[in-house]
Amino acid sequence: MRLRLTPREDSFYDMFADSANNLVTGARLLVELISDGADRAAIAEKMRACEHAGDECTHAIMRRLNETFITPFDREDIYRLASSIDDVMDEMEEAADLVVLYEIEEFPKGVVHMVEVLERAAELTAEAMPRLRSMKELNEYWIEINRLENQGDQIYRKLLAKLFSGEYDTLTVLKMKQVIDRLEDAADAFEHVANTVETISVKES
């Protein structure tokens, strides 16, 4: 058992929870974005607001980190976790923005499956953040996120195969590939979040 002579700053837990909950909002906006008949411009605007909210969460964590002498876990891990969560939101927002800029109206079925992976990863991440306080029951979280990332990889490869099958014209392939690349990057970023949580948990155990 560790002996602590100076009280530590525990507000980081709530801040990480807020940041992760914002990912759930962003992922659900992606689900709306690719739905038939969606007002994609309006949804992309909501996604930009969500990304700005994520930036504010990240900046708040960094400011608190700079002001805090005793942190609940290693400073570099706080920085890495905040940055990784921010990366997820950035990738999802960029995907949404590209959909609108490229005026993409129809999506291969695999895109729906990829977004569903991101939505589930966001939900699991939001559920995991409060458990950082106790460092308990976290191993199932990173194991499941790794499984989802592998599933996302498989979906991504099948999407590429479909795009390059000759079914789509060259311009559509170029546009769609940029979107699915960002979705794949978002799935990778979720795994980076989970890997950081695992590192923190191992250090604190």
The pLDDT tens digits for 138-174 are 999 999 999 999 999 999 999 999 999 999 999 999 9
Residue 7's region, left for phi above 0, alpha for psi from -120 to 50, else beta, is: beta
Q: Which residue has the tokens 């708040």?
A: 60
Q: What percent of the chain has pLDDT over 90?
A: 85
Q: Per residue in 56-67, pLDDT tens?
A: 999 999 999 998
Q: What is the pLDDT of residue 81?
A: 97
Indicate the length of the chain as a whole number: 205
Burial class (CB in 10 A: 0-12, 13-18, 19+), 21: middle
pLDDT digits (tens, 9 = 90+) for 90-114: 999 999 999 999 999 999 999 999 9
Mean pLDDT of the chain: 93
pLDDT at 2 over 70: no
